[in-house]
Amino acid sequence: MAIAGTENGVTAELVIMQDAVKVYGRRKVLQDISLNVRKGECTALVGKNGSGKSTLLRMLAGLTRPTSGTRWVSGGRLVTGYVPERFPPLTFTPWEFLLSSAEVRGMKKESAENEIRGFLSQLGMESFAHVRMSQFSKGMLQKINLIQAMMGSPDLLVLDEPLSGLDIKAQENLEYILVGLKRSGTAIVMSVHEPKLIEQIADRVLLMKNGQIIKETSGKHLEAGTTTQIVLRGLNSSAVKRISEHPGIVGLAVRSDHCELEVRSEAADVLLRQILDSGGSIVSVIPNMGMNIPLGEWLQPAASEKGDQV
């Protein structure tokens, strides 16, 4: 068991995992995971689908137990907010659902109502407070998903793809909210692909592959000069040529059914817009933060497409 650090006599580690393994049937989903989650620190998990990120998040949140190894929690109990990757279209209104969630968490009604109003306003959902969520889009549901987890400033906030479905304004407001929660002492662990969110709030980044943490880098390596990998499809050769002439591109690889770009992170937003405006589609956007990992290690298999397109 690792020894917990202290800050002014108070244990800084909220969760410590040591040699954790998770097995489903005959499949080992996580193996040899040792990880400390500290108060007021943000940890980002990156890696392609199937690398074990979501399982690790559920284990950190206490929703699943390790098959072997240990998970230690400071004080024996944490107030944890959890954002699953998918949130169901419930028949409740946001106000009904969030007020009920606050009650379960033990929040006083007046305090909970004030928080709910504030979050709904920040995420542009105040006019939908009393509309049935069964009518909501994916992005609207994601906003309610986030609010239920963030209420009451939990000790630990676990986020599985928190920006999924959010518009640009909502993404910016969420970044602002998360920075505030971190400053107040909430530990954040998130699975995320968007480099901007990582650069804004992550103190460290863990690269996962085949159920293991294979690389770690700290926040000081997430400054300007890092690169982002963009995988795209749907552009013909002339459109790819035009985009390849952008000065922000570091590397380009054209495959049979997709195209891989490595770009300077500060140019990523402009290039993403150029790709979409040219009729292309984005498969993935993944930061490559000085980890010396070949771009192929980050890729998701792309579905085959016919014709002169990548």
> Using one digit for the tens of pLDDT, what is the confidence trace for 50-82?
889 999 999 999 999 999 999 999 877 789 999
φ, ψ of residue 309 in degrees (nearest 5): -140, 155
User: Does position 9 have pLDDT exceeding 70, yes or no?
Assistant: no
Q: Which fold has domain 227-298?
A: Alpha-Beta Plaits (3.30.70)
| Lowest mean pLDDT across 125-129, 130-134, 257-261 | 257-261
- Return the axis-axis angle of helices 94-105 and 109-122, rounded to nearest 10°: 130
Domain ranges of the chain: 59-221, 227-298
Nearest to 85 by CA among 165, 202, 199, 16: 165
Q: Judge whether 248 and 270 are in contact, CB under 8 Å.
A: yes
Sheet holding 187-191, edge to edge: 80-83, 156-160, 187-191, 42-46, 204-209, 212-218
Nearest to 124 by CA among 188, 171, 179: 171
Token pair for residue 212? 């293991």
Q: What is the pLDDT of residues 169-226, one digit of tens each?
A: 898 899 999 999 999 999 999 998 777 788 788 999 898 889 999 888 765 454 444 6
Do the first three CATH levels of 59-221 and 227-298 match, i.e. the same topology?
A: no
Residue type, 191: S
Strand partners, 63: none
Nearest to 119 by CA among 87, 138, 92, 95: 95
Task: Classify domain 59-221 by CATH architecture.
Answer: 3-Layer(aba) Sandwich (3.40)
